Amino acid sequence: MGRLSVSDLSPPSRRYDPALQSANSKPRFWSAQQNRDEDANRVPMIRKAAHLGGDLYEAASALDLADRLDYARSGAQGPQTMASKLYAAKYDRMVSAALWKLIEQGPWERISTICLIPRSLETEPGGLVNQAAPLMIGGLRTELNRSKAGAADGFLFAALHSEFEPESQTYRPHFHGVAADGMIDVVDALAATTNYIYQEGDPVRFRKLRSQKPLTDLPHPLTYIIKGYLPSRRIGPVGKNGAIKRSRQGHRLPEPYHTQSLLWLDRWSINDVTLLMKIRVGKDGFQVSDPKSVHQSGGS
């Protein structure tokens, strides 16, 4: 039997199921039917975009994706692709639960959620097709190792996401995740590197972000890590003083970018877009894989 991966995570127990926290707290997961409805809603938009044509994607590929997302009509199983909201939501739930359990049961002294927005990954729409999720995940691993991740304790879990800035027509891939103990310091060290340090005129003010206060509202912060869509967020002048701000509210991408982004997501599975450092997938969720990642007083 080969090594387990994120796709091998099991459904969570009731104790750590974030979907069961939804009724009276922040994490509000869609039902399976709502996720299926969203997949179905994407079908006519993709088909229309395919017939309109363009040079950002092949019409045949768009029609094939639309057919696979139309599984409810045909009675088929949902496709195993990040372009499916049903598929992405399944792993959003299971990853959130596994991280929640790892955090609560571990000896960790510090836990922070993180967001990393590397400058080098930004691209115009025509360049999106050349961006391979496994290579971007590998690039982040290399950056962290250069910041001495190997010598750090703790752990890190990160997932690739992206968004589209409509005015500059820029795709901005980035990573959401959670880090513990020494791996937090490794993430902080990235702020001084070329990919993350602020440069004059950069519309992104902070390319390395992490929570500073203890995470007291679990599992809510962990449910933001896995995404099955690319939102459109404007960055531009706001108000009388013209301050440059990023919209807090994401919107569905306009065509042809909506279909282009789904075709890009369609290339990847959950394993392609996730990074685990110093943890691995076990029979009961995430487990420590590097003995050095655990404090001597906290475990083996």
pLDDT of residue 121: 97
Domain contains 269: yes
For the residues 41-48, what does the mean pLDDT come to?
A: 97
pTM: 0.92
pLDDT tens digits, one per residue of 58-97: 999 999 999 999 999 888 888 999 999 999 999 999 999 9
Q: Count the domains in the chain.
A: 1
Domain contains 156: yes
Higher-confidence residue of 117 and 229: namely 117
Domain contains 6: no
Domain that holds residue 159: 28-290
Higher-confidence residue of 24 and 221: namely 221
pLDDT beyond 80 at 35: yes
Domain contains 7: no
Domain contains 18: no
Domain contains 20: no
Q: What are phi and psi of 198, to 5 degrees?
A: -70, 135
pLDDT tens digits, one per residue of 186-238: 999 999 999 999 988 888 889 999 999 988 889 999 999 998 888 998 765 55
pLDDT of residue 216: 83
Percent pLDDT > 90 in the chain is 74
